[in-house]
């Protein structure tokens, strides 16, 4: 709702309560020189949300130009999850390709992805074990962990390659990897 005039947040809350939306989250906004309200409801049906908005607008004598209704339903969430999974899988393939080209060994690329998934599974497992809600901050933390894990893996692989360049290597690859 924008350009709402002298309407207070308490008045807005009471009208939404009368409209059957007692759990609506109402915030004051200020954009384009106009005061207004940002209202979030649990209604996902666009027609029902528009009906509630029209009822509230009628109570305050606001025209249809004074509000807009946007709904985000389960279809949108499923679409975002699907696109995120595709992006994640593509990034894993690109990581394998990059590391294979960089170190001339496809096994290192696959190993890097396994290490990355291992780190993610441990963190997500602990997060699920303690029963925390998955928020955008948690996703940002996971992306940070992915970045550090990948960086650490590339640094170790680079060090292994440097250590393997010597002519008089008298140890197993396992020992060389641990040393690196």
Q: Where are the alpha helices (DSSP H) in the chain?
A: 9-18, 46-60, 74-103, 106-129, 136-163, 173-179
Dihedral sign computed on CA atoms, order 134, 140, 146, 149: negative
What's the whole-number average pLDDT of the chain? 84
pTM of the full structure: 0.55
Total count of residues recorded for the chain: 180
Alpha-carbon span 123 to 75, nearest angstrom: 28
pLDDT at 114: 92
Report which secondary-structure segment, H or E, holds 90: helix 74-103
| 58-72, 91-105, 160-174: the lowest-pLDDT one | 160-174
Hey, what are 65's tokens?
Answer: 């130009």
> Has residue 80 got a pLDDT over 80?
no
pLDDT of 49 reads: 84
Determine the 3-state secondary structure of 58 from DSSP. helix
Q: Are the C-beta atoms of 49 and 23 separated by less than 8 Å?
A: no
Write the pLDDT tens digit of every residue in 106-146.
Answer: 888 898 899 999 999 999 999 889 988 777 788 888 889 99
The Cα–Cα gap between 178 and 148 comes to 19
CA-to-CA separations, 96 to 15, 43, 180, in angstroms, rounded: 56, 43, 21
Structural element, H or E, at residue 12: helix 9-18
Give the C-alpha distances (Å, rounded to integers) separating 42 from 6, 64, 104, 109, 160. Answer: 26, 21, 53, 45, 54
Question: Cβ neighbours of residue 88 under 8 Å, at least 6 residues apart?
Answer: none
Supply the pLDDT for residue 63. 81
Q: Which of 52-61, 75-84, 103-112, 150-159 has the lowest mean pLDDT?
A: 75-84
């Amino acid at each position: 709702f924008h350009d709402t005039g002298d309407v207070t947040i308490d008045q807005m809350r009471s009208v939404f309560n009368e409209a059957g939306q007692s759990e609506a989250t109402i915030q004051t906004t200020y954009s384009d020189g106009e005061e207004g309200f940002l209202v979030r409801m649990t209604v996902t049906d666009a027609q029902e949300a528009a009906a509630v908005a029209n009822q509230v607008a009628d109570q305050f004598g606001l025209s249809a130009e004074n509000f807009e209704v946007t709904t985000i339903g389960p279809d949108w969430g499923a679409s975002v999850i699907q696109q995120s999974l595709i992006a994640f899988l593509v990034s894993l393939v690109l990581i394998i390709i990059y590391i294979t080209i960089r170190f001339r060994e496809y096994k290192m690329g696959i190993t890097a992805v396994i290490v990355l998934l291992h780190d993610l599974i441990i963190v997500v497992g602990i997060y699920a074990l303690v029963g925390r809600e998955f928020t955008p901050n948690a996703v940002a933390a996971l992306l940070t962990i992915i970045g550090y894990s990948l960086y650490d893996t590339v640094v170790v692989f680079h060090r292994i390659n440097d250590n393997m360049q010597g002519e008089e290597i008298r140890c197993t690859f396992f020992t060389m990897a641990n040393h690196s």
